[in-house]
Structure 1
Amino acid sequence: MKRIIVFCILTSFIFSCGAKKVAVKKKTSKPKTERVVIKKEAQNSRVNEGVDEVVNGVQVKITSVDEYIALFKSIAQEEMRLYGIPASITLAQGILESNSGRGRLAVEANNHFGIKCHDWTGDKIYHDDDASQECFRKYNDSKYSYRDHSLFLSQRSRYAALFKLKKEDYKGWARELRKAGYATDTKYPDKLISLINRYNLHAYDAEVLGEVYVKYEEEIGDFSMYYVEKGDSMYSISKKFNISINEIKAWNDLSTTSLNVGQKLKINKNSKDAVVSSSDQNASAKMTAVKRSHIVEKGETLYSISKRYNMTVSELQKMNDLKDNALNIGQELQVNSTN
């Protein structure tokens, strides 16, 4: 009987120990599995849904370049008025640096220009760039990123040469940015210029500058490079430069008169001195126009005077041996007769 009692006690003790071990094992394994699942769900949610960035205090989600331009053109123009940086350059850099507002730095830190921390004391975000987990500035609103971009360029001596350029010379600004060390990509200027021409961003410079705006044309040898704008046709360009359509086609190896916005066309700088065919009698009449004098009055600019006499600013400058756009009240200028 004693053996039976001892056997029962031992059996009961062994069974209770085994049950405790199973219970402990289940208790420790369940929370570990849940933590892993929760972490994965949170990451997937962030990737799929995205995070809205803030523009002028309003949360937005940008889906295209056109949306980006519509949101930031006014901000870029205000920065141009205050700091003298062409709105076209600022917008093109924003589009390029932030992937039109869809890059991680723009979405999570409202940082559109990839400006790193340096001596920054505000909020920060860490992001892989030239090196792993570099420190970048984080803003409460994207408009502060635009202001910081203006300050970044205007307060550093290495970019001083930029501000000696004409504000409408966006091609010069694009090249000087690369030269000053803003970007290491050798194609950086070409990318900015391409964006400006494709989306007609220099129009926002013209809005800020008003009558003093003069479109810059790139010169290569005996040719000037003209960038086709919205509304241009082969006919309108031929009339603008007093040349024939056939000449434009020949200089640019074109078989048709079709054009694309942003397309580069070579225009012979000496074409106005060439013999014009009988089909271009109107252009010939303009080329042989009689010269007359104009006395500069208060408020007049080279642009307004050139329009008055159906000339281009470059023609007016060449006729009067002018090196820049500066004029004095009472100054005498040689101009084409409108009669």
Structure 2
Amino acid sequence: MSRDRVLAIINCLSTYSSKDEPITLQKIKAILKQEYGLDLKDKMIRNELNYLQSPESSYPVVKEKNKNNYKENVYFLKEMAFQVHELRYLMDAISAARFISPTETRQLLYKLRGLTDEVTSKLLANELVLSESKVTIEHFAENIQTLHEAIRAKRCVKFQYGRYNVDKKFVLSREGGFYEVIPLGVVWSQEYYYLIAQEREKEKIIQYRIDRMSNVLKTEDSFSPIPGFNLKNHVAHLFNMFSGEKGNIAIEFDHHLINVVIDRFGIDARIKKISDTRFLLETEGIVSDGLVRWLLTWGADAKAVRPAELVEKMKKEVERYQGLYT
């Protein structure tokens, strides 16, 4: 067995064969000669294929009878690194991600299609329409990696933070001063990456859009995990990634919104029917502007019941709406 010959055959099969379109020994022979410069005898190729069909092979090859010529065998790799639907999931996620620039999106999609054979690659040609709001963010990938490394090493980070103004100029907060925080986790929500963090010397946990960060640096200061903090639970209680105070929330909904509520709070949400048209949701969550705006999405079909702070926030926001149209 020649290592180079075996690798060439594996590459040949992974590129030009599939379960639906296996290839013959003569086709393998022609490809090996044309693309790899290997002029091999049939017996030599057959020996390598026999090895790849054995239990010792890490790349199991399947041999079948050719449907078009029963006297001839055809071959394909038994298992590919990715199934076609798995590659489709990855490609669609990359296409939809606003923080991946159009150029990098095209490069990544091309690389993903290269992970399978030519036949399967053609099945992936119908790509998801790219988001029109994709943007190019300088050093975004490096910033993400720096944050992950800091969380793993339990090191604090510092960064500058800003937003666009109405003149479409990116303006740094705190006159360009650095935020110094304890990084608790990175999450991807609503097409954006967020850093969940606690600012130094403060108790409040805040969400920062990573695409609004610049000059992200890992510091020498270490930190200890916050006792009892659970990143998954924290994110589950947020609405549109707004910060606020946690509380026991009760909201009335019209029956037609039951699937909206289950999608947001899960099948185990505490739901009680209170009339032929309304049901009550009781849950724990963050009382914030994000929750207010989410409830206003459903108009009069959703009504905040408690806490009083949430009810008051809803009243004030409704008054603002009324003021716009008088």
Q: Same fold (TM over 0.5)?
A: no
- Larger radius of gyration between Structure 1 and Structure 2: 1
TM-score (structure 2 length as normaliser): 0.22
- Identify the structure with the greater strand proportion: 2
